Structure 1
Amino acid sequence: MIRKLALITPWPDQRTGIADYAFDLAHGLADVGIELDVFTTCTKPSRTISGVRIQDIDKFPGTFAFDQTVYQMGNCSTFHGEQLPVLFENPGIVHLHDPALHHLIAFFLYRDDTQDYYRVLRAWYGARVAERVQTFNELNNQGFWDSPHVTEVPFFDPVLEHATGCIVHSAYAQQAVHSRVPNLHIRQVRQAYRNMQPPAKYNDGEVLQLGAFGMVQQHKHVDVIIEAVKRCNAEGKRVHLHVAGALESVCKDLPDLAKSLGIENDITFHGRLSEEEFLYWMNNVDICVSLRFPTMGETSAVVSRALQLGLPTIVNNVGWYAELPSCVTKLPTEHDEMLKQLVAQLQRVSTNGEQLAQWRAQCRRYAQTTGSFEQTIQDYVRTLACFRTSAMAA
């Protein structure tokens, strides 16, 4: 039985979805009576939980002081880089949020010594793969880790070598890890968040309200959503898009794109929202559009929350998103076909209130019949108890 747990993780206000997830997870674990210590690189934690100690990662005393130690692991060096030396010295359970850690490993190896990077890559994947990656890096303006092919060489091996177990959120990730580390005990747990229930009543307005939530990055194809709004409104449909997230540098011209298309009044760029503002808009749009390609197999916090809220959602048919229930509309990843099918779906529901009502009913049924947040926490605790505490490999 797990009574005392160490959680090594990003923490709010660090700008990563894993920090927000970890806060809700810690809250749920504390609510069921687990004594919890959080160790983080967050210098000024903005949120605390009664009874939960939040300390600097340098204060971690070692795994001997806890029944289990869990590392919330993603691919961003800013938030997870300092976790690696702690993990290497103190093996524990790796909760793998991104089933490709090539970005993280490349940050530490490639930037300092490219030959060292290829040496380690060759040791894990063999000469043929290392040569393929090197050729790609030499011929392209982006690293292999930023390409759609990154899931073929996930490079999580140097990290999971030190794991005593692995938690993932999808069958996609579970299979990816198992294919590379077959002797590692891997368990899948649903991603869920606190205080997420379908509304008592959906909003009904004359204008179809769309929401694109989270950091706006190129691979989230917000430009496709903007073009879809243009096409729908040009045909007399009434659609408004809320872009709720900070714009990355390569996406700074999206407001100019909307203006050039003559639909600047049909799109609201909210910027980065507070948690309260985020939840307000999640509860006040009709459809969540969360496109993503390429994907590294990661799980979307936005989509997980939308599903818990019973909010009709549109995604790309790839990775974890392809596993989502039938009430989620899944679009192809090819640009023109993605746009075509998105426009068609928006036109259907914007002109047929009954179709939107049926879609909402399907999403509500899913939200009410899947495990609650409380059930997910119980599953998480049982999962922790399944793992052994010694390192997989000495």
Structure 2
Amino acid sequence: MKVAFFSPLPPAKSGIADYSAALLSELRKLAEVTAFSGKPVRFDPSQYDISVYQIGNNGYHDFCYEAALEYPGVAVIHEANLHHLVADLTIKRGDWDAYMREVEFNGGDMAFAQRVRALEVGPDYEGIPMLRRVLSRSKGAIVHSECVRGELRKSGFNGPIARIPHGAWIPSADRNAYRSRLGVDLSAPLIGIFGFLKPYKRIAESLRAFRRLVRVDPRAKMILVGEPHPDFPLHSLIQSLGLEAHARVLGFTPIHDFTGYLAACDIVLNLRYPTVGENSGTLMRALGLGKAVLVSDVGSFCEYPDEI
């Protein structure tokens, strides 16, 4: 079987890029796979048995989304909301007419959308998932959770949906070496937050709770490993809480170091609210390392067995 595989790949600062890189090495044992990590100069779908598109809710997936519309195939929907991606493809390109068409196609409030266009309010990112367009052009869909499957059905998709659980890893990493790199004593409590650092990961709430821990055990440390969202004042928040000596923002790291910092932690915080059903590669890696992980009891996280 010949497969055309569209996805961002490393060094793109995307969890799905890392996921796809790991998946490709296994998928190529079963099929002849051509990977496209950007818009191809030429693409002939007749040369492939199937095209697979990794669709996530950010601009790294713009070429995947556009190709999925032009050359229908199987869409892997990683989360049940694509509004930020659609906004990148329309508003950020100055094409307000296209954005308004997408709002209408997805059953959104056009009066509110006119206010968005007039820059009176921001887009209704949470209220309009923007799933219908890509689903209307898809022969089938793959999801990682029942949560996302349900949202696809709510959006009116009647095609076949396969639920394939997110892949898991049992990585190896030197906990002590990464603790030494951080300057953290082996016996000191170390807590980590990983991935794109956005408010919905409950970072502010976690930092406030961590401050209480520091009062009990001044040796406690926290690392935040990932790129901070540009609109989230993370550094000033840490400063305002008086945690400069205890919490460090390490920024984006290659996956090898990302895994090493996971291994260094005693506890990993993987909280979400709100959620759009996304699964977490960080969670899979942390569990593979035998780490204690705190998750929110929402969305796809409700589907994990209680005993793990």
Instruction: Give the shorter-chain TM-score range.
Output: 0.7 to 0.9
Determine whether 1:317 maps to 2:292. Answer: no
SS at match of 1:144: coil
The answer on whether the counterparts of 1:214 and 1:245 sit within 8 Å (CA) in structure 2 is yes
Aligned twin of 1:206? 187
Residues 239 and 92 from structure 1, CA distance in 2 versus in 1: closer, same or farther, beyond 3 angstroms? same
Question: In the superposition, relative to structure 1, how do residues 321 and 135 fare at CA in structure 2: closer, same or farther (>3 Å)?
Answer: farther
1:75-114 → structure 2 map (5 Å cutoff): 75-76=57-58, 78-110=59-91, 112-114=94-96
AA matched with 1:19: A
Q: How many residues are paired up?
A: 299
Structure whose CA Rg is larger: 1
How far apart, CA to CA, are the structure 2 residues paired with 1:159 and 1:326?
Answer: 34
Number of the residue aligned with 2:16: 18
The alpha carbon displacement at 1:243 in A equals: 1.2
Residues in 2 aligned to 1:230 and 1:86: alpha-carbon distance in whole angstroms = 47
The residue type paired with residue 71 of structure 1 is: Y
Residue 158 of structure 2 corresponds to 183
> Does 2:226 match 1:251?
no
SS in 2 for 1:142: coil
Q: 1:229-249: CA deviations, max 9, x gaps?
A: 211221347522111122232
Partner of 2:253: 273
User: Which residue, 33, 36, 43 being the options, matches 1:36?
Assistant: 33
- 1:197–1:308 contact (8 Å) kept in structure 2: no
The 8 Å contact of residues 109 and 116 in structure 1, kept in 2 or not, is answered as yes
2:216 is the alignment partner of 1:235: yes
Within the alignment, does 1:283 sit opposite 2:263 as a pair?
yes
**Structure 2: segments with no counterpart, 5+ residues:** 180-184
3-state DSSP of counterpart to 1:298: coil
Residues 25 and 193, structure 1, Cα contact 8 Å, conserved in 2: no
Unaligned runs of at least 5 residues, structure 1: 42-55, 328-362, 364-394
**Distance in 2 (alpha carbons) for counterparts of 1:136 and 1:172:** 31
Q: 1:278 to 1:85 in 2, by over 3 A?
A: closer
Q: 1:199, 1:309 within 8 Å by CA — same for their partners in 2?
A: no
**Distance change in 2, residues 1:118/1:248 (3 Å):** closer
Deviation at 1:175, TM superposition (A): 0.5
Contact kept? 2:259, 2:285, Cα under 8 Å: no
SS at match of 2:162: strand
Return the offset for 1:293.
2.1
CA contact (8 A) 2:169 2:284 kept: no
Quote the residue 2:182 is aligned against.
Answer: none
Q: Deviations over 1:107-128 (max 9, x none)?
A: 3344545455334433442xxx
Equivalent-residue separation in structure 1 for 2:171 and 2:60 (angstroms):
26
Change (3 A) 1:134 1:282: same
RMSD, aligned α-carbons: 2.9
How does 1:1-394 map onto structure 2 within 5 Å?
Answer: 3-30=1-28, 32-41=29-38, 57-62=40-45, 64-76=46-58, 78-110=59-91, 112-125=94-107, 129-131=108-110, 133-134=112-113, 137=116, 141-145=121-125, 149-150=126-127, 153-196=128-171, 205-236=186-217, 238-252=219-233, 254-327=234-307, 363=308
- For residue 122 of structure 1, what is the amino acid of its counterpart? E
Length-normalised TM-score, structure 1: 0.68
